[in-house]
Structure 1
Amino acid sequence: MEVRTRHTPAFGVARVVLSPGEAVQADPAALVANSFGITESRARRGGPAVFTAPAEGGWLDLAPGHPGDVYPLELDGRVGWCVARDAVLARPATVRTDHPWPALRALFGGDSGFLEHHSGTGSLLLATPGPVDALTLAAGEVITVTPAFLLAYPDTAQCRLRAVDPSGPQSVRTGEGLALDFAGPGTILMQTRRRPG
């Protein structure tokens, strides 16, 4: 799978180029157009669809339902990434969503939380409400990020979740009232606008 982006960062569209017989999972509502012969199948109504290229290969154009950027996050098979829930626009079969992921269970307890873990190889296509900012942390360097602006971080970074005000309202599902402390090494990806709620 190859990803080519255009109209970024304000109104991103991603062209996903598929090899013969290759498939990608995506939200069917994000499909703008595709080459002739791409087939679509769904396991359940309202869920994601799997788009498969015919024998000669093909492409599909995907756009998020809100203004913003599209960002192909390259997974190398060695390092997994924690990604903001609902940020994934498309996922190839070579990238897994890991349920449950031990580090996220430790972070959120028994709740599902506002992050999910992905591993494998290939381009995980993300949709963000604004341009993507990448902060590269040296070993031992520490920063604090507001959960509403976090897009993704690699397994190499250490993460701690804490209450901004212990007496105030907090939610591990949305990140309200919480802060994330990250220690390097690693690159933290942030979206520069809040996700529409």
Structure 2
Amino acid sequence: MQVHTRHTPAFGVARVILGPGEAVQAPGESMVASSFGLTEVAGGRRSPSVFTAPAEGGWLDLAPSVAGDVYALEFDGRTGWCVARHAVFARPASVRADSWPGLRTMFGAEGTSQGFLEHYSGTGPLVLACAGPVDQFHLAAGELISVHPGHVLAYPDTVQCRLRAVDPSAQQSIRTGAGLMLDFAGPGTLLVQARKSR
């Protein structure tokens, strides 16, 4: 699977190129156009559709339901990434969501199902839908940065992360990130969206 983006950063469209019999998961309503012969198995109310290429392969154009950027995050099979839950847009079967101890440490026992981050690993591109253009912060070893959770898009396992309350006496939400701040320490690349997620 290959991904080429266009109309970025304001109205991103991702062209997903699939090999023979390859499949990608994405929201059914996100499909703009495709090569002839591509099949779709519709997901449930909250589940993505699965688009599969015929024997000769094919392509599929996907666009998020709201304006913003699309970004293809390439997985190399060696490093996992924590990704904003709301941002995951399309993925092949070779990139999997998994339970990760780091999220349980950050969010508690229910972290992987209740928090605003998910952990992914595997190989291939994970397509992210972003509220705004994507900024990359390349952190050197020990370099520190603080980011509001609504702007965090993704960071690799090499980056250390700590969740803290902005004001311990104010209300906070693990589900949305409200009232919280994330502190990151390098080395690694932190992906941030320039507009806060809705």
In the TM superposition, 1:49-60 aligns within 5 A as: 49-60=49-60
Q: CA deviation at 1:90?
A: 0.4
Moved more, 18-27 or 37-46: 37-46
Relative to structure 1, the CA distance from residue 147 to residue 46 in structure 2 (aligned partners, 3 Å threshold; closer, same or farther) is closer
Separation in 2, partners of 1:175, 1:29: 27
Separation in 2, partners of 1:63, 1:3: 13
> 2:172 maps to which residue?
170
Separation in 2, partners of 1:5, 1:97: 23
TM-score calculated relative to the size of structure 1: 0.97
Separation in 1, partners of 2:137, 2:22: 33
Q: CA deviation at 1:21?
A: 0.4
1:126 maps onto 2:128 in alignment: yes
> 1:108 maps to which residue?
107
Render the CA deviation track for 1:23-69: whole Å, top value 9, x for unaligned: 00111111111111111113534411110000111111000111111
> 2:163 maps to which residue?
161
Moved more, 117-126 or 28-37: 28-37
**Aligned Cα root-mean-square deviation (Å):** 0.9
Residue identity in the other structure for 1:50: V
Unaligned runs of 5+ in 1: none
Separation in 2, partners of 1:45, 1:164: 36
Relative to structure 1, the CA distance from residue 174 to residue 61 in structure 2 (aligned partners, 3 Å threshold; closer, same or farther) is same
Separation in 1, partners of 2:2, 2:43: 25
TM-score calculated relative to the size of structure 2: 0.96
Residue identity in the other structure for 2:108: G
Residue identity in the other structure for 1:192: A
Separation in 1, partners of 2:127, 2:19: 17
Separation in 2, partners of 1:131, 1:105: 29
Residue identity in the other structure for 2:138: T
State the percentage of identical aligned residues.
69
> 2:181 maps to which residue?
179
The 3-state SS of whatever aligns with 1:86 is helix
Residue identity in the other structure for 1:97: A
Separation in 1, partners of 2:45, 2:192: 32
Separation in 1, partners of 2:164, 2:32: 40
Residue identity in the other structure for 1:104: L
Render the CA deviation track for 1:64-109: whole Å, top value 9, x for unaligned: 11111100000100000000002011001110011x2211011001
Residue identity in the other structure for 1:128: C
Q: How many residues are matched?
A: 195
Separation in 2, partners of 1:45, 1:55: 29
Relative to structure 1, the CA distance from residue 43 to residue 11 in structure 2 (aligned partners, 3 Å threshold; closer, same or farther) is closer
Separation in 2, partners of 1:157, 1:42: 36
Residue identity in the other structure for 1:103: G
The 3-state SS of whatever aligns with 1:50 is strand
Unaligned runs of 5+ in 2: none
The 3-state SS of whatever aligns with 1:143 is strand
